[in-house]
Structure 1
Amino acid sequence: MSVAVSARGRITPNAPLAPLVWFKSGGAAETLFEPADQDDLIAFLHDTDPATPLMALGLGSNMIVRDGGVPGITVRLGKPFARVERLDDTTLRCGGGTSGILVSSTARDAGIAGLEFLRGIPGTVGGFVRMNGGAYGREVADILIDATLVMRDGGVETWPLERLGYTYRHSDLPDGAVVVSATLRGTTGDPAAIGAEMDRIAQAREDTQPLRSRTGGSTFKNPPGHKAWALIDEAGCRGLTIGDAQVSTKHCNFLLNLGSATSRDIEALGEEVIRRVEARSGVRLEWEIQRLGAEG
């Protein structure tokens, strides 16, 4: 695919994506676009063929990029979209490329409670909004007022919470829509207490999750009435390997790249976990991690 449009941001053909995702595996983006700002993104999408596939990339924490790479356009929101603006005593407007750590830290400093759980989600606002991200008993649906989207044709729309159709780890956002900002609301709180809760969450993650490994975060959704990790453990999958891909021995709902695993290895391991869990318990796990691109 050739991109015959001008842009102020960076356009990179055949851009390797493995360095940009947590698993450190997978193929290249046919075209990687890093917009200079929202207007640059709008103009770029307006001038490209609307039939060209588009994927938005944040921190790359909740995805498997397949070895054949990602066709079409991959949009990566960088520093211009990693900003937080305080609107009032309880409300923040956050760019789509803002990390959960920055959002929760800004909320703490502003005395806004209720956003602490974002400290425990590895990713950016754009991904949180699309997936209704959650942790430690809360989710984005609890704090979102609205989200501003740049649609595939370059149009801009602001969707209120009700239009997003949130359920567990799901929204009704259309494919090709890029979340450029979101308005989040908490409650007034004491910065010291908010900070203490954030520290508790950070320590809980450190104690229970393989944070220093090549991983994609939580792999499978929790089925109703069950914890995915417990089902995986009961099925004897703790430490299971395919190639250099492994089910974490620290937290069974995390898959690891021990060094040279391909995305095919990682995905095959996940499918084997699904098979074994269903055989053992009758429960069929559903992927929470996005699997994107073409088979290698």
Structure 2
Amino acid sequence: MSAFADITPALRGAIPNLRGRLLANQPLSDLTWFRVGGPAQVLFTPADEADLAALLAGLDPEIPVTVIGLGSNLIVRDGGVPGVVIRLGGRAFGSVEIDGDTLRAGTAVPDMRLAKAAAEAGLDGLAFFRGIPGSVGGALRMNAGAHGGETTDVLVEARGVDRSGRLRSFTHAEMGFRYRHSSAPDDVIFTSALFRGRPGDRAAIEAEMDRVTAAREAAQPIRERTGGSTFKNPDGGKAWQLVDAAGCRGLTLGGAQVSEMHCNFLINQGGATAADIEGLGEEVRRRVRETSGVTLHWEIKRIGIAA
């Protein structure tokens, strides 16, 4: 597609104290596990929480803001993402600090690294994060879970910045967690979270993490260009079973395929577009609805505009 208008000079003029990186028409495909999609009109990587707040406070309210993390559960559409795309990283958002039985983690910390830090500190209860391929920020937004554990089980509080640049804190109750969902305001960009574990035996915790890793590698196509679980499990059922029963295992569209190994995963076979992957997902939803009467809901986040 043609490039978006370059609005970075106007942003720097309006918010001269910014310290982070502002990049115009920055490709996003390399930042997603599917390796597809168009550019960000502007990609902003803030230096720290104050820098993020400065951008949001000074940004024209009409300019859309989108946040991406590790890109593991994300489709960026082929036309790209208008407005400002924010990606947190670096030491300001990527550290884990341990105090007794609590861990404070920046939201750019990969879930797997959070699990490892807890294990090294002898804190039990967070080993399930080893099986989640995203980051802490995504875990907060969607109450990520795996292997019998969920973010809601261990979260104490979360901190973030809202669209007006105001710092906000949320207790566990204020997060409003339910299955693969939180009720925190959509405009909040989470910056850190406090988790609580319980004292445990490091060797036993690491053994549990090894079991989680082995189970994941045996059942999921983790070495492919994929986006994790595509659809949420419906009440009382399993999405993959419905997809399988609808005859969709191995189904293809363009360069996209429903995984033969685990049919709640979509795969970029090498030449897929974002439209191929999203279109295949919609075809799977149609066939499942037709065969079972169940409407599957996307777990993968889809952002941007079609080409």
TM-score by length of 2: 0.94
1:279 offset after TM fit, Å? 1.1
**Is 2:94 the partner of 1:82?**
yes
Match of 2:54 among 30, 35, 43: 43
1:8 offset after TM fit, Å? 1.3
Alpha-carbon distance in structure 2 between the residues aligned to 1:100 and 1:126:
9
Match of 1:192 in 2: 203
Q: Which amino acid aligns with 2:72?
A: S
Q: Which amino acid aligns with 2:111?
A: G
Match of 2:113 in 1: 102
Output aligned runs, 1:13-24, within 5 Å: 13-24=24-35
**Is 2:138 the partner of 1:133?**
no
**Is 2:246 the partner of 1:235?**
yes
**Is 2:228 the partner of 1:211?**
no
Match of 2:288 among 277, 280, 285: 277
Q: Look up the SS of the partner of 1:211 in the other structure.
A: coil
Q: Look up the SS of the partner of 1:219 in the other structure.
A: coil
1:116 offset after TM fit, Å? 0.3
**Is 2:279 the partner of 1:244?**
no
Q: Look up the SS of the partner of 1:249 in the other structure.
A: coil
Alpha-carbon distance in structure 2 between the residues aligned to 1:29 and 1:169:
26
Alpha-carbon distance in structure 1 between the residues aligned to 2:271 and 2:60:
36
Match of 1:55 in 2: 66
Q: Which amino acid aligns with 2:98?
A: R
Q: Which amino acid aligns with 2:96?
A: V
**Is 2:45 the partner of 1:34?**
yes
Alpha-carbon distance in structure 2 between the residues aligned to 1:50 and 1:160:
27
**Is 2:143 the partner of 1:143?**
no
Q: Which amino acid aligns with 1:83?
A: S
Output aligned runs, 1:110-189, within 5 Å: 110-189=121-200
Deviations 1:91-134 (A, max 9, x none): 10000100011101110011100000001001110000001101
Alpha-carbon distance in structure 2 between the residues aligned to 1:194 and 1:39:
36
Structure 1 window deviating more from structure 2 (189-198 vs 36-45): it is 36-45
Q: Is the 8 A contact 1:219 1:255 kept in 2?
A: yes
1:20 offset after TM fit, Å? 0.3
Q: Is the 8 A contact 1:210 1:250 kept in 2?
A: yes
Alpha-carbon distance in structure 1 between the residues aligned to 2:258 and 2:102:
39
Q: Look up the SS of the partner of 2:113 in the other structure.
A: helix
Q: Which amino acid aligns with 1:9?
A: G
Moved over 3 A (4+): none
Percentage of matched positions with identical amino acids: 54
1:295 offset after TM fit, Å? 1.1
Structure 1 window deviating more from structure 2 (118-127 vs 73-82): it is 73-82
Q: Look up the SS of the partner of 1:176 in the other structure.
A: coil
Alpha-carbon distance in structure 1 between the residues aligned to 2:105 and 2:226:
26
Q: Which runs of 5+ in 2 are unaligned?
A: none
Q: Look up the SS of the partner of 1:218 in the other structure.
A: coil
What's the C-alpha RMSD, in Å, of the aligned pairs? 1.0
Alpha-carbon distance in structure 2 between the residues aligned to 1:245 and 1:58:
23
TM-score by length of 1: 0.98
Structure 1 window deviating more from structure 2 (129-138 vs 3-12): it is 3-12
Q: Look up the SS of the partner of 1:203 in the other structure.
A: helix
Q: Is the 8 A contact 1:53 1:176 kept in 2?
A: no
Residue-pair matches, total? 295
**Is 2:303 the partner of 1:288?**
no
1:175 offset after TM fit, Å? 2.5
Q: Which runs of 5+ in 1 are unaligned?
A: none
